[in-house]
Amino acid sequence: MRAATRRSWWKTGVGLALTGLMLFPVYWMVNVSFTRDRDMRASPPHLFPADGTWDGYRAVLDQQLPYLGTSFLVGLGTVALTVALAAPAGYALAKLQPPGGPVLSFVLLIAQMIPGIIMAMGFYAGYLQLGVLNTLPGLILADSTLAVPFGVLIFTAFMSGIPDELTQAALVDGAGRLRTFWSVVLPVSRNSIVTVSLFAFLWSWSDFVYASTLAGGGEHQPITLGIYHYIGNNNQQWNAIMATAVVASVPAAVLLVLAQRYVSTGVTAGAVKD
Amino acid sequence: MLPTTRTSPTARGRGGATGAPPRPRRRRPGRWSAWWFLAPVTGYLVACYAYPLYRNVELSLREYTVRSFVQGGAPFAGLDNYRTVLADPTFGPAVAHTLVFTAASLAFQFTIGMALALFFQQHFPLSRTLRALILVPWLLPLIVSASTWSWLLNSDSGLVNAALGVVGVEPVNWLTSPRWSLVSVIVANVWIGIPFNLVVLHSGLQAIPAEVYEASALDGATGWQRFWSITFPLLRPVSAVTLLLGLIYTLKVFDIIWIMTRGGPTGSSTTLATWSYRLGFGNLLPEFGPGAAVGNLLIAAALVAGLGYLRAQWKQGLR
């Protein structure tokens, strides 16, 4: 018994080492964000921010808040649009067996495989004519393409698991389809709504392709462009660049902690059939 | 079947009155009405997928200038843009880099992801927490990962060169020498891809029944034999899906390469994706036509990979 415990602690040690190795670049980002300018080119580099500085974070507060605000708005808009489009579709595909449903699912699968850089060029041409280039709604619409097909597939998979008795009881009680969807299906699908929202937010928050092509010339630019401009203009102040990177990673970190199980659900549900 | 899909009582009554046999229930109004729920997403697919793709094809078939891009009226050019692209000296290297980038990324991501999945499949204190933490690189915005790796690989002050210096290796110009730029972006991309492979393969491992392993343990199989003759074959469907998804994602990779090297120096890390972007958006004088043509070649490659993926999914569904 004791030997077994000791053996598994030994494994924990190896696990910690492997995790540490994988996360080392993340640590390095944090470390550099606290490093003073004059230590930045030190050789060998300082492994800990011994004489740390908050200068980088001060620069974030001074210069990057508007970018963060834009990303936040775009993220929320993308989540709202994605759930509004994907949840009803998931309900129909899972519960109503519409003619042509499998074809639609197939189209959604294919849609996920189209490289964003190609969509960006088409969006750019269309947006130029419509006059929505460099606007928030335009960017939200483009960013939602990252998540809508995935969202429909997740909702379909989840809602297929809702017992038919539940939806049929509602129908027998005289609720229409819309009412059944709104008052029965949506409330019990809370977990899948969380999963889809989480990924829609993360993907739009991380988006660089659409941001740089469709919002690069506007007043409202997301944080990915904030970092990108920083790297271009200002490559001396790496603590500010890395501090912005740390701040831009906060949503990912928070979501990982708060919604761990939804994250793994999302990763695997998108990829593997049960 | 749902109650509403039945033929309504009045229709049945009328049929009975005329003595005609009941009509076959071909029309199912209830099922068609489901399309009210699908209409928004269908409209969306047309507007946000079909239209951009159509525009992209149209762009690639016309002779666009900045002026005609804004005002319209670009002359039809047929396949000229494709000819231009195929004859461009960038084409061969871009295809080669795309292939090397994709193959190397997949091989390393998958192997390391598999090793980690096998390790974290064992139960030990903190195994779940550590496995969740390893997801972090995958969730970080790509621009964050790319700029962090840029700094780690910096020629003068990067940690990688400092570490190599300790063991007596001369500093390497990771991002600024044509020899190493592709290797550098592959390293960063592998790092980002490991967590995805880990999670999917781990969920596949969970699905293998424990009895199979118990039986093999009774037969005295070693760990390595267990892996080659049980785990690996049983995991094949999941592995296929993981690799194919990885293939589709890797063909699309643009952010990491663009941010770390912009496809350079001298095109040494240019792939089809970064080339397409550079033609369309990365120069002062955009070449939308050739850019779109490169993009469409990339789509063709992604679709071939995608059909392979669907075939694998379908086969797995038959099991």
CA distance B295 to chain A (A): 5
Q: Which of A81, A218, A96 is nearest to A151 (CA)?
A: A81
Does the CB of A131 have a partner CB in chain B at under 8 Å?
no
Q: For B231, how many CA atoms within 13 A lie in the half-sphere containing its CB?
A: 22
A205 — contact with chain B (CB < 8 Å)? yes
pLDDT at B29 exceeding the cut of 70: no
Over residues A37-56, mean pLDDT: 80
Do the domain assignments include residue A134? yes
Q: Does residue A8 carry a pLDDT above 80?
A: no
Substitution target from A47, A117, A206 for chain B, most B beta carbons within 10 A: A117
Question: For a pLDDT cut of 70, what percent of chain A falls above it?
Answer: 93
Q: Give the domain extent around A156.
A: 57-270
Rounded average pLDDT over B66-79: 77
How many structural domains comprise chain B?
A: 1
Query: What is the mean predicted confidence (pLDDT) over B285-293?
Result: 88
Name the pLDDT band for B8 (thresholds 50, 70, 90): very low
Measure in Å the smallest separation between the Cα of B203 and chain A Cα atoms.
7
For B33-57, write each residue's pLDDT tens digit. 888 899 999 999 999 999 999 999 9
Find the closest chain A residue to B5 by CA distance: A96
Whole-number average pLDDT of chain B: 83
B9 has pLDDT over 70: no
Read off the pLDDT band of B7 (50, 70, 90): very low
Quote the pLDDT of residue A70.
93
Q: Name the domain count of chain A.
A: 1
- Nearest-CA neighbor of B271 among B67, B92, B108, B30? B92
Which helix (H) or strand (E) is A153 found in, with range? helix A148-160
Instruction: Tell me the whole-structure pTM to 2 decimals.
Output: 0.86
Q: Is the pLDDT of residue B274 over 90?
A: yes
CB-CB under 8 Å, A86 with B41: yes
Over 70: is that where the pLDDT of B74 sits? yes
Range of the domain at B243: 92-318
Contacts of B195 in chain A (CB under 8 A): 22
CA–CA separation, B139 and A201 (whole Å): 11
Does residue B239 contact residue B208 with C-beta atoms inside 8 Å?
Answer: no
Q: Is the pLDDT of residue B191 over 70?
A: yes
Check CB contact of A17 with chain B, cutoff 8 Å.
Answer: no
Please tell me the predicted confidence (pLDDT) of residue B307.
81
* A236 occurs within a structural domain: yes
Residue B15 has pLDDT above 80, yes or no: no
Q: What is the CATH number of the domain that holds B190?
A: 1.10.3720.10
Identify which of A43-52, B5-14, B45-54 has the greatest average pLDDT.
Answer: B45-54
Assess if residue A160 is contained within a domain: yes
Average pLDDT over residues A39-51: 78
At residue B12, the pLDDT reads: 37
Distance of residue A48 Cα from the nearest chain B Cα, in angstroms: 12
Do B294 and B276 form a contact (C-beta atoms < 8 A)?
A: yes
Percent of chain B with pLDDT over 90: 37
Quick one: closest CA in A to B142, which residue?
A: A206
pLDDT tens-place string over residues A172-204: 888 888 888 998 899 988 888 998 998 899 999
Residue B3 lies in a domain: no
pLDDT of residue B132: 85
Give B19 to chain A, closest Cα distance, Å.
Answer: 31
Place of tokens 């912005």: A244
* pLDDT grade for B317, boundaries at 50, 70 and 90: low
Please calculate the CA angle B218-B223-B227 and round it to the nearest 5 degrees: 105
Residue B215 maps to a domain:
yes
What is this model's ipTM? 0.87
The three-class DSSP label of residue B135 is coil
